[in-house]
């Protein structure tokens, strides 16, 4: 397996895990924002729906309990917006597209 030819089974498993985690984050975000869940029910749900270590589950659920409501949705929307811009720039620039330049433009780093 190389960077140019990834393992298709590994890639598929990673994508499935990403979708599962993203879905679980949305459920946590909604239920904790609506005050339908306290920390322990949220942590129980995360344990049942992820392979995260306990420290990450505790940290994540505390963040959803104390941080900005809708944070998981906002994060994902931002991710989609950046991916869309990247695809459009790659299509527009073709071989001239440079990922480092794109990242610098997005992050405001020079």
Domain ranges of the chain: 1-68, 70-110
CA–CA gap between residue 75 and residue 25 (Å, rounded): 11
Q: What is the pLDDT of residues 31-65, one digit of tens each?
A: 988 888 999 999 999 999 888 899 999 998 888 88
Cα gap 60→67, rounded to integer Å: 10
Q: Is the pLDDT of residue 1 over 50?
A: no
Answer yes or no: is pLDDT of 69 > 80: no
pTM of the model: 0.60
> Are 106 and 89 contacting, i.e. CB atoms less than 8 angstroms apart?
no
List, for residues 75-85, the tens digit of each pLDDT value: 888 888 999 99
Per cent of the chain over pLDDT 90 is: 37
What average pLDDT does the structure give for the chain? 86
pLDDT, residue 40, reads 95
């Amino acid at each position: 397996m190389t960077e140019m030819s990834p393992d298709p089974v590994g890639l598929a498993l990673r994508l499935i895990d990403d979708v599962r985690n993203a879905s679980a984050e949305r459920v946590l975000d909604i239920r904790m924002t609506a005050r339908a869940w306290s920390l322990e029910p949220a942590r129980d749900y995360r344990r049942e729906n992820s392979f995260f270590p306990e420290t990450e589950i505790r940290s994540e659920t505390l963040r959803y309990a104390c941080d900005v409501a809708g944070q998981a949705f906002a994060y994902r929307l931002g991710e989609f917006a950046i991916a869309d811009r990247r695809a459009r720039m790659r299509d527009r620039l073709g071989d001239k597209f440079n990922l480092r330049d794109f990242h610098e433009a997005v992050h405001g780093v020079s």
